[in-house]
Structure 1
Amino acid sequence: MAQYVFTMNRVGKIVPPKRQILKDISLSFFPGAKIGLLGLNGSGKSTLIRIMAGVDKDIEGEATPMPNLNIGYLPQEPQLDPQQTVRQAVEEGLGDVFQAQKKLDEIYAAYAEPDADFDALAAEQAKYEAILSTSDGGSPEQQLEVAADALRLPAWDAKIEHLSGGEKRRVALCKLLLQKPDMLLLDEPTNHLDAESVEWLEQFLTRYPGTVVAVTHDRYFLDNAAEWILELDRGHGIPWKGNYSSWLDQKEDRLKQEEASESARQKAIKKELEWVRQNPKGRQAKSKARIARFEELNSQEYQKRNETQEIFIPVGDRLGNEVIEFKNVSKAYGDRLLIDNLSMKIPAGAIVGIIGPNGAGKSTLFRMLTGKEQPDSGEIVKGPTVKLAYVDQSRDALAADKTVFEEISGGADVLTVGKYETPSRAYIGRFNFKGGDQQKLVGNLSGGERGRLHLAKTLIAGGNMLLLDEPSNDLDVETLRALEDALLEFAGSVMVISHDRWFLDRIATHILAFEGDSHVEFFDGNYQEYEADKRTRLGEEAAKPKRLRYKPITR
């Protein structure tokens, strides 16, 4: 094979209105390299992937794949045939293999013919057996089932036109992985996957013989599967030989040499590095310490002192010892039993990470907590001091024609945030909308910026019990880090739905896991500790991701 599978020579890209998003990028990609693509929201990561895929040809410079290189590309919104079933779409990924199997079956039958030409048949047989032998991982049927289970695909006979956006992405990813191209270009492959499916994908790509370039904010993937980090910083592509943790080390050194205005980012990186270097027990979030520091964390002096942080979450009234208790709660949705006899007690100061496949019942749990739905049996008891603040996944309520400042402040210069009055611009700045960013139109914001805006708007009222539904979706690594720091400093309790394992390991004191068959497990510890416990309880095979199953409802 050639020394490089892909080369970029002085590649640049200008986007409206005359903004140079990529500048003078010259890179060469090694065969089999595993590359994680990092950068702030809007830095050009998806643009670079589209250029490499040959989708965007309107560029400066040259982007050249090796001759006959087979490139597979997963965009953020893949196009599938709406009339196909899930199985028909996924089978296309193994088209050559299925065709070879069919031809072999015909050859085996032809041997029985009285006038069979054994030499010709043997030559044909060898050709098609060679195709099957290069397709490792068992028979085509086995490969289909393993990948479909691991990515938790919908039923084989489900029509593509009836699937959600997340389900379509999983189908497209499954089809692409089964094709086994020479080079995989993946734009946010972990979106709409739960934590266990992300872990399976990470292991699959680690073993994958081809080159992989992935835009992802999943830092365990970047740590465990990436051998290179390609950072897009102010238009330039900066390669780093090593994984995410080693990249963090050199990034801290690089920021030290840059201007003082980077000090907030440098401080945030330093905090994450300290966590990376701690032993596992030292990583447990200090929930009691946060509650004990309530007065300091909630004081105006602390808030002023803390203005270098990118995100600051205001807290409401002091949280008492009685927070939330589930007593024998069961909940069905249609003919599916989502939650079967759940009993648990959330301690004060806990950060509970909620994990499980899409459709398992995680958002339904939140709707029961907010009173939008009721349990079918059992009860949910909320403590007398609890004030909920619920940040859902929907960002559609944001007005596209307003500026960031107008959307949050309503035009007022002073906001009442929790119990305090604060300048509107200062509050909005706490969510990393600085200066001119506050005059951006909401309709022009990236997904990550909309996520921050939604968070800022929802949290104005103040609350001491946060319910966060996938807050890490669309956030770049810098903002994720800031959100983690903000949650660790928050002097209340938090329940957070997330599939980001690094995020959960860094902040979670407890895990609430939807494990399938309507069972929900409440575990004292972070994600890694929960996974170790699950393997002990259920065995290695049971711990692998599988398509979602529910207990039948007995009436």
Structure 2
Amino acid sequence: MNLVNLESVSHAYGPKPLLAGVSLGVEEGDRIGVVGRNGGGKTTLISIIAGELKPDSGRVTHTRNLRVGVLSQRDDFAADATVQELVLGGKVEHEWASDAAIREILANLLGDIELSSRAGALSGGERRRTALARLLIGDDDLIVLDEPTNHLDIEAIAWLAGHLAARKSALIVVTHDRWFLDAVSTRTWEVVDGSVERYDGGYAAYVLAKAERSRVAQAAEDRRQNLMRKEIAWLRRGPPARTSKPKFRINAAEALIADVPPPRETVELLKFASARLGRTVYDLEDVTLHAGGPDAGPLVLDHCTWQFGPGDRVGLIGVNGSGKSTVLRLLSGSVRPDSGRLVEGRTVKLAHLSQELAELDPNRRVLETVEEVRKYITVGKKEWSASQLLERLGFKGDAQWKVIGDLSGGERRRLQLLRLIMDEPNVLLLDEPTNDLDIETLTELEDLLDGWPGTLVVVSHDRYFLERVSDRMVALLGNGKLSMLPGGVDEYLERRAAGNALSARAATAPAPTLVVEAPITVGLSAKEQRELQKELSRLERQLDKLAEREGKVHAQMAEAASDFERLGKLDAELREIAALKESAEIDWMDVADRLGE
């Protein structure tokens, strides 16, 4: 059944046309992801579809009795209304408490919020989750979501994706979270230059299809310069620990990426990073740290020993409130450990992008504020001017001469990040760098970071960005340790789910059972510990060799780009290597668990 029809719809704000003669339809069961640059018309499009905005011209038709649920970027909660009143309306307790679907939504979105809390006392993130819970409890034919993952952590995003995928409602979602787009959408609309380009599939399929359209439209050498191809290469190959890759049409993908180098020249970057940084970057030695100062606030690190080396690219994961930002502040020197020692390398030149926007002179112009830091910078093997980098991060043409006081929050964040990079640091600490950035700008930022040779520690709820720019994942799991995650975000979610299940069992079990179920991690003899350490080292060497072998196969595939028989054999070898790596990673995790690491 057709739910919504748009016929020759146009709309503009001032002199800028956002939609020009757009005709499209939304059918029952559609799951549509909407992408495009900030300010390009995405929110305008979905507002018109939802019936919240009347277009300047054209016709919008809804099927009779259509129920539309909308999550906008702002809520209109009355300050004195309770969460229960906002979310559950007039439902009495036995009515909603006996409904498993409602209980699941409340547990996953409002588990840490009292239903009696007043809206006026909620934080921005709590208000967002309250609005989302209220929408999902409804029974709508069409759900329209504008940036639903804002303020959600990785676990909540994963739950929301699964929940939406299981619903029968049609779905339209605007989000910059590319992993989420791939998880929930089967079609993609790109709002660009007043029109809506339509693609089958989620974000990964959209990237491939857009690259194919570009290949048809442009000359061969122009195609090679298309940044999309580099992203496709990453999507096809994936980081070492990633086990679930998008299922592209293999032949088309191989034709596009056969001669594309890996996203980062790891060995070359590591040599450069070592030369600039020396051997020591940060060493944590028996560090104990609380979020609010010595013995105040939640415990973040408990006698933790860890090393961040030259050229490391680390993604730091944890639930909201686990202390990720506190760890970054520890590394930046803005907080001190309660006990233990933090050793910082002598050659470290730090840049820290925090979640707070640095104060900039509102009367200065964008280009001036960047050039006052430095006019030129070398990233990888290429020299860039301040103006060129500004253009890459979305400040095109006259936008470089905007007064800072007229910039949006997202534009200020881009400017802050660029100023940090222009200062040529060799250590970057990034705390939620993707906030308010659109997909095209995120792609440019990822490409820029590919050529940056220093040590990188990233905190982000954007799973795609985290996996894209990091080479390894580390988690704060609430045990006071920094835990290595060879399996990446998937392993983190599995560990969290297992921990929650164990906690639930322990909470309901009688006292004797608690003793039996408690995980036993002590009792290893010194000899057993030495043997396990040897096995751990052996597995790490095996993984290194497999990674090296994988790199050689990729190089051979690039050389044999036109030999399809040879490519087939190399592809089979690549799959064999992937299977061996997966087995070795599982063994590594088993040994690490036995050692208690």
Structure 2 length-normalised TM: 0.72
Q: How far apart in 1 are the matches of 2:407 and 2:61?
A: 32
Distance 1:430 1:5, change over 3 A: closer
User: Is the partner of 1:366 in helix, strand or coil?
Assistant: helix
- For the pair 1:488 / 2:486, whether they are aligned, the reply is no
Q: How far apart in 2 are the matches of 1:338 and 1:23?
A: 55
Quick one: which of 391, 415, 430 aligns to 1:453?
415
Q: How far apart in 1 are the matches of 2:264 and 2:201?
A: 31
What amino acid does structure 2 have at the position aligned with 1:15?
Y
Q: How far apart in 2 are the matches of 1:523 and 1:264?
A: 39
Aligned match of 1:186: 145
Checking the alignment, whether the CA contact within 8 Å between 1:317 and 1:385 is kept in structure 2 is no
Query: Per chain length, whose mean CA-contact separation is higher, i.e. which structure has more relative contact order (CA < 8 Å, sep 6+)?
Result: 1
Residues 137-286 of structure 1: pairs in structure 2 closer than 5 A: 139-140=98-99, 142-151=100-109, 154-156=112-114, 157-258=116-217, 263=222, 267-278=226-237, 281=240
Quick one: which of 464, 470, 481 aligns to 2:432?
470
Aligned match of 1:352: 314
What amino acid does structure 1 have at the position aligned with 2:4?
F
Aligned match of 1:82: 79
What amino acid does structure 2 have at the position aligned with 1:9?
E
Q: Shift of the alpha carbon at 1:361?
A: 1.8
User: Is the partner of 1:281 in helix, strand or coil?
Assistant: coil
- For the pair 1:13 / 2:11, whether they are aligned, the reply is yes
What amino acid does structure 1 have at the position aligned with 2:16?
R
Aligned match of 1:428: 390
What amino acid does structure 2 have at the position aligned with 1:148?
L
Q: Shift of the alpha carbon at 1:535?
A: 6.5
Checking the alignment, whether the CA contact within 8 Å between 1:332 and 1:339 is kept in structure 2 is yes
- For the pair 1:505 / 2:483, whether they are aligned, the reply is no
Aligned match of 1:323: 281
The structure with the greater share of residues assigned to helix is 2
Aligned match of 1:302: none
> Between the two proteins, what is the percent identity of the paired residues?
35
Q: Shift of the alpha carbon at 1:31?
A: 0.8
Q: Shift of the alpha carbon at 1:63?
A: 1.9
Q: How far apart in 1 are the matches of 2:108 and 2:458?
A: 23
User: Is the partner of 1:359 in helix, strand or coil?
Assistant: coil
Quick one: which of 367, 375, 392 aligns to 1:415?
375
Q: Shift of the alpha carbon at 1:469?
A: 0.9
Quick one: which of 59, 63, 77 aligns to 2:60?
63
**Post-superposition CA distance 1:112-139 (Å, at most 9, x none):** xxxxxxxxxxxxxxxxxxxx8xxxxx82
Q: Shift of the alpha carbon at 1:5?
A: 0.8
- For the pair 1:294 / 2:272, whether they are aligned, the reply is yes
- For the pair 1:405 / 2:354, whether they are aligned, the reply is no
Q: How far apart in 2 are the matches of 1:338 and 1:253?
A: 50
Q: Shift of the alpha carbon at 1:541?
A: 7.2
Distance 1:493 1:506, change over 3 A: same
**Post-superposition CA distance 1:177-229 (Å, at most 9, x none):** 11232211110001111111111111011011111100012222222220110
Checking the alignment, whether the CA contact within 8 Å between 2:241 and 2:488 is kept in structure 1 is no
Checking the alignment, whether the CA contact within 8 Å between 2:291 and 2:323 is kept in structure 1 is no
Checking the alignment, whether the CA contact within 8 Å between 1:464 and 1:492 is kept in structure 2 is yes
Q: Shift of the alpha carbon at 1:423?
A: 4.8
Checking the alignment, whether the CA contact within 8 Å between 1:465 and 1:494 is kept in structure 2 is yes
Aligned match of 1:339: 300
Q: Shift of the alpha carbon at 1:317?
A: 7.7
User: Is the partner of 2:240 in helix, strand or coil?
Assistant: helix
Could you tell me which runs of 5 or more consecutive residues in structure 2 were left unpaired when the two chains were aligned.
243-261, 505-597
Checking the alignment, whether the CA contact within 8 Å between 2:7 and 2:58 is kept in structure 1 is yes
Q: How far apart in 1 are the matches of 2:426 and 2:162?
A: 38
User: Is the partner of 2:279 in helix, strand or coil?
Assistant: coil
Distance 1:394 1:459, change over 3 A: same
- For the pair 1:72 / 2:69, whether they are aligned, the reply is yes
Aligned match of 1:44: 41
User: Is the partner of 1:5 in helix, strand or coil?
Assistant: strand
Q: Shift of the alpha carbon at 1:415?
A: 2.7
Distance 1:65 1:395, change over 3 A: farther
Q: Shift of the alpha carbon at 1:154?
A: 4.1
Checking the alignment, whether the CA contact within 8 Å between 1:34 and 1:227 is kept in structure 2 is yes
**Post-superposition CA distance 1:75-111 (Å, at most 9, x none):** 112221211233332223xx4xx25956xxxxxxxxx
- For the pair 1:391 / 2:391, whether they are aligned, the reply is no
Quick one: which of 510, 516, 522 aligns to 2:483?
522
Q: How far apart in 2 are the matches of 1:260 and 1:437?
A: 30
Q: How far apart in 2 are the matches of 1:224 and 1:331?
A: 36
User: Is the partner of 1:203 in helix, strand or coil?
Assistant: helix
Distance 1:25 1:475, change over 3 A: same
Q: Shift of the alpha carbon at 1:45?
A: 0.6
Checking the alignment, whether the CA contact within 8 Å between 1:418 and 1:460 is kept in structure 2 is no
Q: How far apart in 2 are the matches of 1:541 and 1:5?
A: 44
User: Is the partner of 1:88 in helix, strand or coil?
Assistant: helix
Q: Shift of the alpha carbon at 1:445?
A: 3.9
